[in-house]
Every structure is written in C-alpha cells, then in structure tokens.
Amino acid sequence: MKDITEKEVSEVIYADNIAHIEELEKMKKATPARIGIGHTGARYKTEPMLRFLAAQAAAADAVFSEVKEDVVKDLGVFEVRTKCASKYEMLTRPDWGRIFEEDTQEYIKNHCIQNPDVQIYFGDGLCSPSIQANIPDLFPTIKLGLEDKGITVGTPFFVRYCRVNTARTIGPLLNAKVVCVLIGERPGLLTSESMSAYIAYHARPEMSESDYTVVSNISKHGIPPVEAAAHIVDLLDEILKKKKSGVALKTD
C-alpha cells in the first residue's frame, strides 16, 4: 500500500527540469529543508503539499493529544496533574501549568521517597507522544547509570499538563538535591516526538531560568534516548559534585 511519508523528504526530489540533478542531490544532503520540491504555476505540486500537511498535522496532534492512561500504567508510575484542567488551560495559562493544588502536593509527598539526590519525573509538556516514544528507554538507563555511581533516585511519576517550572515546586516538596524533568518539546515538522531534560540544582520558586541545564532534541531523529541517558547521567553527576547547574555550570 502506498505511503507518501515512507521516504524522508530529504531523500526525494519533486522538482522537474533540473539542470544539474547531481548538484541538487548534493544540496539536499546538506540540509533537511524542503528544497527541490518544484512548483506548478506558482503553487506546490500535490505530493509535497500533502506531505507538508501530514507533517504539520502530526506536530499539532502531538501537542493537542493526551497521554493515554495505559501509557502511564505501562511505565509503572502514578499520575498527577497541575492546576490546569485541560489542554486549553495548559496552553493559555503557563502560570497554572507550573503549580499544583494543595491536595496534589500532599499526594506527591505521600507517594514519593524524601530527600533523594536526584528527583526525576515526566511531563507531557507540548508533546504527548514523546512520553511513550522515549521514556521506556530513557528513564531506566538514567536510573541504572545513577545507581551505579551510588546516587539515589527519587520515586518517578507523571505530570499531566506539565510545564518545566513545576520543578520549582517539586524540588522543595521532596527535598531533592537535584530535579530533572523529562518533558515533551514543542514539535516541528521534522519530528513530533522530541523531549528535553531540564535539570536544576536546588530547584526552588525564586530560581532563575538560567539555572536550568538543558538537554534537548531527545528522540530517534535527534539524540537517541539511550545516548541521551548516558549524557544526562554524566551531567547529573557533575551537577551534584559542583553543586550548581545552568549558566553557572558552564562558566566554571
């Protein structure tokens, strides 16, 4: 059966009447941009148009879809949500996507071990599919890596309608030395399952945005989860030793 998305856009030339086709092939190897797609009149040819629509739809779906309860269950973690009650609130109220109701905070506290070296949790962020696509490889590898180094890891959980700055609440709540939130990134047309790790030493409400150390572009199209995990373990180890994160870590 036909699938127009089977080959990467970068592998297909849709333009006609190219003077030096081998040059165009070289150009396409140098960039993932949608070049060499041709035109009919001053409009797009049909297949590249459909491919754009498919990629954009996948990206939008990644934002607006929900992480299914089964996915959370399979990860073996419990679920909480921020103050947001819907995707709409999550997208329009960043101030609510970073805080929890009182009883939710109690719930988290009662279901997690206290005082871990590193508290890791997962958030849907702007890309729900990133959880299923990356966490099953990413989290166990990070956990093993840290435990090998004698670093204690807190109880993982999943936060629905989650923004990065939930870390400012979670850190003090569980008295974790370091907080690491694995969260879905805003998708683009090249990938719609990427996630980032935002890591903060001594996370707290009054911390600065520049106190986060970030590993982005984690996905099979970017940094593969297992490779990212190794990198994150090294970073967490360094952050714990130097007792700082973000810009301060770089300027060391």
Q: Find out whether 10 and 28 touch, Cβ atoms under 8 Å.
A: yes
Kindly state whether residue 94 participates in binding another protein, applying the rule CB under 8 A: yes
Q: Residues 30, 35, 36, CA angle at the centre, nearest 5°?
A: 110
Residue corresponding to tokens 């109701």: 101
Parallel/antiparallel/unpaired status of strands 118-123 and 178-184:
parallel
Strand segments (E) across 62-177: 78-81, 118-123, 157-160
**H/E stretch holding 51:** helix 46-64
Binding range to another protein, per CB under 8 A, among 22-30, 145-153, 171-179, 198-206: 22-30
Contact residue for another protein among 4, 5, 11, 32 (CB under 8 A): 32
Parallel/antiparallel/unpaired status of strands 195-201 and 178-184:
antiparallel
Contact residue for another protein among 188, 205, 230, 234 (CB under 8 A): 188
Nearer residue to another protein within complex by CB, 11 or 64? 64
Nearer residue to another protein within complex by CB, 18 or 226? 18
Parallel/antiparallel/unpaired status of strands 195-201 and 212-218:
antiparallel
Contact residue for another protein among 4, 8, 39, 66 (CB under 8 A): 39
Nearer residue to another protein within complex by CB, 152 or 217? 217
Amino acid at 110: N
SS3 81: strand
Report which of 1, 76, 9 is spatially closest to residue 44, judged by C-alpha positions: 9
Kindly state whether residue 251 participates in binding another protein, applying the rule CB under 8 A: no
Nearer residue to another protein within complex by CB, 125 or 156? 125
Q: Please report how close the Cβ of residue 168 comes to another protein at its closest, in angstroms.
A: 16
Tell me how far apart the alpha carbons of residues 226 and 127 are, in angstroms, rounded to a whole number: 19
Q: Residues 196, 115, 195, CA angle at the centre, nearest 5°?
A: 5
Nearer residue to another protein within complex by CB, 1 or 42? 42
Kindly state whether residue 33 participates in binding another protein, applying the rule CB under 8 A: yes
Q: Please report how close the Cβ of residue 145 comes to another protein at its closest, in angstroms.
A: 27
Nearer residue to another protein within complex by CB, 55 or 108? 55
Kindly state whether residue 56 participates in binding another protein, applying the rule CB under 8 A: yes
User: Where does this chain bind another protein (CB under 8 A)?
Assistant: 15, 17-21, 23-24, 27-28, 30-39, 41-44, 48, 52-53, 55-56, 59-60, 62-64, 91-95, 126, 186-190, 192
